[in-house]
A and B are shown apart, each in its own frame.
Chain A
Amino acid sequence: MTQDIKIRVANLNFSYRDRTVLQDVTVSFAGNAITALTGSSGVGKSTFLMTLNRLWENVSNAQMKGTVEIKLQHRFRDIYAPDLSVTELRKMVAMVFQVPNPLPMSIRKNVAFPLKLSGERNRGFVGAKVEHALKMANLWDEVRDRLNDDARTLSGGQQQRLCIARALVLEPEVLLLDEPTSSLDQASTAVIEELLIGLKDRLTILIVSHHPEQVIRIADRVVEFADGTIVSAPRT
């Protein structure tokens, strides 16, 4: 499989409270593919994911060394360079967490939230984007009549799809997912897996997963972590 490289990570080291979490990680990820990050608990998969959109910077006593470059708007950019703000980066490299985290607001406002952060005020445009994102997340038909309901009233699977829709509304180039189905039942998991497979033509997807069956079902590539480093990765 020959695909363009989307993410280049070199000599990445990460420590938290003097404990080494990631050690000398060098890896590349192909664009428009689903790459599964596997390995047992505590080997640094989620931390690695957080280094790709700088979310670890909210954690005190954490340190990172190395370079992370992501091809954004057709050119590779060092995501830790001063000319790229965290806010801009996170709009292009979106993240979905293990536990669905809808904000305490309506379904519509949740999905429109990133647009609000970007200063978008045109109601017609926002409405269209919300609808488009919900359709991409296969949620539109289920919520179209209750867009003003509190998002927390949705089921767990629906909440996670809402979070994916919210992450997609700004049309990011990379989607990071940290065990997005671990708190969901089989049926909801299947819906989300189908959704991710459908999205990979538009996005580069990195997913942390503990389920070998899931990896087989959805991943194009697998990167395996052990003790803070990569033990097997495909050539890109």
Chain B
Amino acid sequence: MKKCRELVAERAFLLSALASSSITVAILAFMVFMGLPLMRQGGLYQLLLKPWAPYQGSFGIYPMIMGTGAISLLSLLFAFPLSLGCSFLIGSIAPKPAGRGFRRLIELMTGIPTVIYGFVGIFLLVPIVRELFQRGSGLCILTAALVLGIMITPTMTLFFCDSFDRIPRTYLDAADALGASPVQKLLYVILPAAKNGMLNGVILSLGRAVGDTLIALMLAGNAVRVAESVLEPARTLTAHIALVIAADYESPEFRSIFACGVVLYLFTMAVTFLVRYLSFTKDTTV
């Protein structure tokens, strides 16, 4: 009887695993299939490297790829030092109870819906950026990247904290016994020993920044051209999908969003493989 139950459970798990992996592959196949007519018509080169000018028959998503890259990388630039500071405060500087409380707060922040960050950005940050730089409406790459950076900071911080927690106690004892100051311990022992875990956190946070739709949609200005500075508006791939899908259904413009989907899908896949690779890489010497 017990064996029979185990067999049923085993099969059920196998079925679930097969279903979820098939769905993932099916989504890619669906997007490629839907975008295929446009890809055949103009070629992948045109789609990926040409500007978006639907009235001239050009459905390139190059500006959106650049917008996504600029906003997500800039947000990473803001989030990294913030996360490092927060995680070091939680793990090393703050007294244990305060560190625990701070960590709970960070965990809570990961659950705040993106739209709330967007609202705060619109009402607080956009006017500040507009007044400060006296250029444009304030809806620009910088504003979106700042808010996106704040949004991904909790995720990155928790990854960093977990990496710090995994450092063997013996390393920290050795550093303490040799008279290392807290900052020296961070720079010479903690950071080198935790670098793989931290890199995982950075990559996954980048994935989250690239995949976010609402913040870019609400704060980046959504201009379909390649921005020349961070104070100019831009549109991300996700925002482009949301905007086109809201207004259209059957046109070539609509088909183009499947190409956006494929690009995002491939990026996510690359991130996943990179994280897997890094997770399997043994820790190295400093």
Contacts and interface: CB of A to CB of B under 8 A. Distances in A.
Contacts of A163: 174
Given A99-B170, A105-B286, A116 B188 contact: yes
A58 B177 CA distance: 11
- SS class of chain B's interface: helix, strand, loop or mixed? helix
A97 B152 CA distance: 40
Interface string A58-98: 10100000000000000000000000001111110011110
Interface string B164-198: 00000011011111111100100011001100000
Interface in A154-181: 163, 166-167
B96 A103 contact: no
A101 B170 CA distance: 5
B194 to A, nearest CB: 11
B285 interface: yes
Interface stretch (A30-38, A106-114, A120-128, A188-196): A106-114
A103 B179 contact: no
Contact of A104 (B177, B178, B192): B192
Given A89-B179, A105-B286, A117 B184 contact: yes
A173 to B, nearest CB: 13
Contacts of B96: 60
Nearest to B283: A104
- Give the size category of A's interface with B: 20 to 34
A104 B188 contact: no
Nearest to B96: A60
B147 to A, nearest CB: 37
A166 B180 CA distance: 13
Interface string B137-174: 00000000000000000000000000000000011011
Given A87-B181, A117-B184, A103 B189 contact: yes
Contacts of B95: 60
A114 B188 contact: no
B283 A113 contact: no
A55 B283 CA distance: 27
B26 to A, nearest CB: 44
Interface of A: 53, 55, 58, 60, 86-91, 94-97, 99, 101-106, 109, 113-114, 116-117, 150-151, 163, 166-167
Nearest 5 A/B pairs, CB to CB: A90-B179, A101-B170, A105-B286, A95-B177, A87-B179
Interface of B: 95-96, 170-171, 173-181, 184, 188-189, 192-193, 283-286
